């Protein structure tokens, strides 16, 4: 699906990605009184990235809850709250602090519908900023989407633009199943775009063609879309036409969008900042070679974070995929 443009008549406002998630949260809370927000510092502080700013004032402490500093409790209590009829939107302060909650996520959140044979679906959203690029201390730059994508029962959504972020957080909240909603903190405030002021929902599981092309497909998501587009521009100047696909949902992957492009072009480069080993890029490469092998003119290339701990800030920029690395991978597929 090509990026939907906002209809001319619609009223819009210029928002950053962080603000767009904030708007989406507020509007869903207005629409549905069972939606509650909980996490560390989500109240008076408005979240360390201000994504929940203003919600406490608007909806009060019974719907916007500062929790004790305990991630397992945040997610575990959300299970009980969901059974009690609420739609909890949990904030985990950084992806690097989600590990204490993995037991609740893997052992319960992902399994409750199945375990109860449909009796207790859990409409829980777990939001978390992820990824590098802001030079913070250790553990604040992690990209662990692969863990969630590997876990049956979860959906994994990663927006890359304000407009998508607003529509996707709405869908995540309305979804009857648990959604891990990962927000690329590097681009929380990197740019603004016009976003419809009305509430709206975008489908989970649909990728977006950010830019059509003829010579190579670049598949990416989150903050890497920006890197992919920088590469695309540079390539354009070199006469190489790249198609850029924004996955938007990591599970379920929009396999058709990727395959259509792969079949059309025959060269695919996947970009993500998480480590390469057993990452999402591996799944895409595996699926593409499995289902479009005869269309492939070159192996699917991966441009990823190194298989190393995300470094402390002074070396951080050398860890993250760059447009140069993307271009190099593109050249490799072209030269194959």
Which residues are the active-site residues?
140
In angstroms, give the least distance from the CB of 100 to ligand TPP: 6
Instruction: Count helices and strands (H / E) in the chain.
Output: 12, 14
CB-nearer residue toward a second copy: 102 or 190: 102
Segment near another protein (CB under 8 A); pick from 3-11, 70-78, 183-191, 229-237: 70-78
What sign for the dihedral angle of Cα 131, 189, 37, 182? Answer: negative
Integer CA distances (angstroms), 72 to 68, 104, 130, 153, in order:
10, 6, 18, 18
Distance CA 228, CA 72 (A): 35
Give, as ranges, the residues between 251 and 270 that touch a second copy (CB under 8 A): 251
Nearer to another protein, 24 or 305 (CB): 305
Task: Tell me: does residue 319 bind another protein (CB under 8 A).
Answer: yes
Q: Which is nearer to another protein, 97 or 200 (CB)?
A: 97
HSE toward the beta carbon, residue 21, CA cutoff 13 A: 32
The count of chain residues that interact with ligand TPP, using the rule CB under 6 A, is 5
Helix axes 224-237, 323-334, angle to 10 degrees: 60
The stretch among 194-202, 224-232, 263-271, 319-327 that binds another protein (CB under 8 A) is 319-327
Helix axes 162-174, 17-31, angle to 10 degrees: 30
Backbone angles phi, psi at 327, to 5 degrees: -65, -40
In this complex, which beta carbon is closest to a second copy, that of residue 136 or of residue 299? 299
Tell me which of 17, 35, 79, 231 binds another protein, using CB under 8 A.
Answer: 79
Site for a second copy in 142-181 (CB under 8 A): 144, 146-147, 149-153
Report how many residues bind a second copy under the rule CB under 8 A. 49
* Residues recorded for the chain: 336
Q: Which of 78, 76, 85 is nearest to 34 (CA)?
A: 85
- Which of 53, 47, 56 has the alpha carbon at shortest distance from 94? 47
Q: Which of residues 16, 21, 25, 40 is near ligand TPP by CB under 6 A?
A: 40
d(CA 40, CA 74): 9
The 269-308 contact track toward a second copy, x by CB under 8 A, reads -----xx-xxxxxxx-xx--xxx-x--x-xxxxx---xxx
Q: Cite the DSSP H helix spans in the chain.
A: 17-31, 55-59, 71-83, 102-103, 112-115, 145-149, 162-174, 224-237, 255-265, 280-292, 313-319, 323-334
Q: Name the residue with the smallest CB distance to ligand TPP.
A: 97
Q: Which of 1, 44, 69, 286 binds ligand TPP (CB under 6 A)?
A: 69
Applying CB under 6 A, does 97 fall inside the site for ligand TPP?
A: yes
Q: Based on CB atoms, which residue is closest to ligand TPP, 52 or 93?
A: 93
Only one of the segments 79-87, 93-101, 203-211, 299-307 lies at the binding site for ligand TPP (rule: CB under 6 A); that segment is 93-101
* Contact between 119 and another protein per CB under 8 A: yes
278 binds ligand TPP (CB under 6 A): no
Stretch that binds ligand TPP, among 92-100, 119-127, 237-245, 256-264 (CB under 6 A): 92-100
Where do contacts with ligand TPP occur on this chain (CB under 6 A)? 40, 69, 93, 97, 100
């Amino acid at each position: 699906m090509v990026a939907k443009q906002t209809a001319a008549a619609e009223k819009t406002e210029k928002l950053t990605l962080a603000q767009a998630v904030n708007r989406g949260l507020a509007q869903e809370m207005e629409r549905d009184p069972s939606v509650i927000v909980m996490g560390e510092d989500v109240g008076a502080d408005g979240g360390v990235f201000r994504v929940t700013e203003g919600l406490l004032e608007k909806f009060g402490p019974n719907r916007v809850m500062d929790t004790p500093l305990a991630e397992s409790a945040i997610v575990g209590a959300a299970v009980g709250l969901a059974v009690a009829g609420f739609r909890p939107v949990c904030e985990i302060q950084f992806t690097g602090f989600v590990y204490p909650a993995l037991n609740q996520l893997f052992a319960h959140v992902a399994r409750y519908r199945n375990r109860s044979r449909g009796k207790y679906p859990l409409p829980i959203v777990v939001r978390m900023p992820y990824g590098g690029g802001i030079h913070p201390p250790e553990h604040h730059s992690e990209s662990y989407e692969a863990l969630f994508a590997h876990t049956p029962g979860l959906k994994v959504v990663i927006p890359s633009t304000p407009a998508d972020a607003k529509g996707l957080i709405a869908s995540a909240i309305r979804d009857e199943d648990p959604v891990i909603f990962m927000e690329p903190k590097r681009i929380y405030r990197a740019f603004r775009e016009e976003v419809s002021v009305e509430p709206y929902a975008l489908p989970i599981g649909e990728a977006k063609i950010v830019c059509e092309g003829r010579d190579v497909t670049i598949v990416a998501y989150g903050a890497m879309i920006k890197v992919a587009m920088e590469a695309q521009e540079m390539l354009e100047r070199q006469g190489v036409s790249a198609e850029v696909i924004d996955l938007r949902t990591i599970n379920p992957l929009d396999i058709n969008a990727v395959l259509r492009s792969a079949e059309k072009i025959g060269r695919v480069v996947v970009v993500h900042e998480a480590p390469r080993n057993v990452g999402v890029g591996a799944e895409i490469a595996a699926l593409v070679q499995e289902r479009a092998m005869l269309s492939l003119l070159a192996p699917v290339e991966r441009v990823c974070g190194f298989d190393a701990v995300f470094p402390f800030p002074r070396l951080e920029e050398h860890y993250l995929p760059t447009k140069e690395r993307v271009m190099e991978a593109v050249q490799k597929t072209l030269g194959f």
